[in-house]
Structure 1
Amino acid sequence: MDEREITDVLIIGAGISGIGAAYRIRERNPQLSYTILERRSRIGGTWDLHRYPGIRSDSDIFTLSFPWEPWDREENVADGEDIRAYLERTAHKHDIYRHIRFDTRVLTAEWDSGTDTWALQVEQDGQPATLRARFVFFATGYYDYDHPYRPEIPGLQDFSGEVVHPQHWPEDLAYAGKKIVVIGSGATAISLIPSLTRTAAHVTMLQRSPTYLLSSQRINPVVRILRKVPPRRLGYRLAWLYNLVFIVSVYALARKAPGFTRRIIRTMAKHYLPEDYPVDTHFKPTYNPWDQRLCLILSGDFYNAIAEGRAEVVTDRIDHVDADGIVLASGDQIDADIIVTATGLQLQALGGVRLVVDGQEVKPADRFVYKEHMLEDVPNMAWCVGYINASWTLRADLTARAVAKLLAYMDSHGYTHAYPHLGGVSMPEKPAWNINAGYVHRAAHVLPKSGTHRPWNVRHNYVLDAIDHRFDRIDESMVFGRVAVREPHPA
Structure 2
Amino acid sequence: MALKHYDIIIIGAGLSGIGTACHIAREHPEKSLAILERRENVGGTWDLFRYPGIRSDSDMASFGFNFKPWYSENVLAQGDDIREYVRETAEEFGLYEKVKFGLKLKNSNWSTRDQKWTVSSVQEATGEEAVLSCNFLINCAGYYNFDQGYRPSFPKEDVFKGDIVHPQSLPDDFDYSGKKVVVIGSGATAVTLVPAMANKAAKVTMLQRSPTYIMALPNTDKVSMVLNKVLPKAWVFKLARRRNILFQRALYLACQRWPNAMRKMFLSHMYKHAPNVNKRHLTPEYMPWDQRLCAAPDGDFFESLRSEKANIVTDHIDRFDETGIVLKTGQHIAADIVVAATGLDVQLMGGATLSIDNEEVNLPKKMAYKGIMIQDVPNYGWIFGYTNAPWTLKCDIGGRYLCRLFTHMDKVGMSVATAVDTDNNTTDASVLDGFAPGYIVRAIDKMPRQGRIDPWRITMHYGKDKKMLVKDPVDDGILQFEAVSSYLSQEPDLLQQASRA
Aligned partner of 1:452: which letter?
R
Matched with 2:22 is 23
Matched with 2:440 is 440
1:156 aligns to 2:157 (yes or no): yes
Aligned partner of 1:448: which letter?
P
Matched with 1:240 is 241
Aligned partner of 1:93: which letter?
E
Change (3 A) 1:227 1:139: farther
Q: Secondary structure at 1:121's aligned position in 2?
A: strand
Q: Distance in 2 between matches of 1:412 and 1:32?
A: 14
Matched with 2:390 is 391
Equivalent residues of 1:140, 1:350 under 8 A apart:
yes
Q: Distance in 2 between matches of 1:459 and 1:322?
A: 47
Correspondence list, 1:110-259, <5 A: 110-124=109-123, 125=125, 126-228=127-229, 230-259=231-260
Q: Deviations over 1:17-58 (max 9, x none)?
A: 111111111222121110111110011000000000000001
- Deviation at 1:147? 2.4
Q: Deviations over 1:121-159 (max 9, x none)?
A: 011243112101111110101111112111231111221
Q: Distance in 2 between matches of 1:247 and 1:424?
A: 35
Matched with 2:36 is 37
Structure 2: where are the runs of 5+ without partners? 489-494
Structure 1: where are the runs of 5+ without partners? none
Q: Deviations over 1:88-130 (max 9, x none)?
A: 1111111111111111122100111111011110112431121
Q: Distance in 2 between matches of 1:318 and 1:307?
A: 25
Aligned partner of 1:161: which letter?
G
Q: Distance in 2 between matches of 1:430 and 1:41?
A: 37
Q: Distance in 2 between matches of 1:369 and 1:104?
A: 27
Moved more, 477-486 or 295-304: 477-486
1:272 aligns to 2:304 (yes or no): no
1:460 aligns to 2:470 (yes or no): no
Q: Distance in 2 between matches of 1:149 and 1:248?
A: 30
Equivalent residues of 1:77, 1:217 under 8 A apart:
no
Q: Distance in 1 between matches of 2:55 and 2:151?
A: 22
Aligned partner of 2:375: which letter?
E
Q: Secondary structure at 2:237's aligned position in 1?
A: helix
Equivalent residues of 2:39, 2:103 under 8 A apart:
yes
TM-score (structure 2 length as normaliser): 0.95
Q: Secondary structure at 1:450's aligned position in 2?
A: strand
Moved more, 397-406 or 432-441: 432-441
Q: Distance in 2 between matches of 1:316 and 1:226?
A: 47
Q: Distance in 1 between matches of 2:136 and 2:411?
A: 15
Q: Deviations over 1:182-206 (max 9, x none)?
A: 0000000001111101110000000
- Deviation at 1:459? 1.3
Aligned partner of 1:456: which letter?
W
Aligned partner of 2:151: which letter?
R
- Deviation at 1:347? 1.4
Correspondence list, 1:58-97, <5 A: 58-97=57-96
Q: Secondary structure at 2:261's aligned position in 1?
A: helix
Equivalent residues of 2:216, 2:298 under 8 A apart:
yes
- Deviation at 1:435? 1.1
Change (3 A) 1:305 1:9: same
Aligned partner of 2:270: which letter?
A
Q: Deviations over 1:280-339 (max 9, x none)?
A: x10111111111111111111111111111000000110011111000000010000000
Aligned partner of 2:458: which letter?
V
Matched with 2:486 is 484
Q: Deviations over 1:235-281 (max 9, x none)?
A: 1100101111111111111111222222222222233223x5312x1
Q: Distance in 1 between matches of 2:187 and 2:249?
A: 21
1:306 aligns to 2:305 (yes or no): yes
Q: Deviations over 1:202-225 (max 9, x none)?
A: 000000011110111111212333
Q: Deviations over 1:413-466 (max 9, x none)?
A: 221111100035343342311212211111112110011211100111111111
Q: Distance in 2 between matches of 1:368 and 1:263?
A: 37
Q: Distance in 1 between matches of 2:217 and 2:223?
A: 12
Change (3 A) 1:172 1:27: closer
Correspondence list, 1:346-357, <5 A: 346-357=345-356
Aligned partner of 2:500: which letter?
P
Equivalent residues of 1:226, 1:236 under 8 A apart:
no
Q: Secondary structure at 2:216's aligned position in 1?
A: strand
Change (3 A) 1:424 1:245: closer
Matched with 2:491 is none
Aligned partner of 1:338: which letter?
I
Matched with 1:404 is 403
Q: Distance in 2 between matches of 1:404 and 1:178?
A: 52
Q: Distance in 1 between matches of 2:274 and 2:437?
A: 27
Moved more, 476-485 or 84-93: 476-485
Identity, % of aligned pairs? 39
Q: Distance in 2 between matches of 1:410 and 1:474?
A: 9
Equivalent residues of 2:370, 2:469 under 8 A apart:
no
Q: Distance in 2 between matches of 1:322 and 1:187?
A: 27
Q: RMSD in angstroms over aligned alpha carbons?
A: 1.4
Q: Distance in 2 between matches of 1:233 and 1:2?
A: 45
TM-score (structure 1 length as normaliser): 0.97
Moved more, 463-472 or 155-164: 463-472
Matched with 2:492 is none
Equivalent residues of 2:401, 2:470 under 8 A apart:
no
Q: Secondary structure at 1:68's aligned position in 2?
A: coil
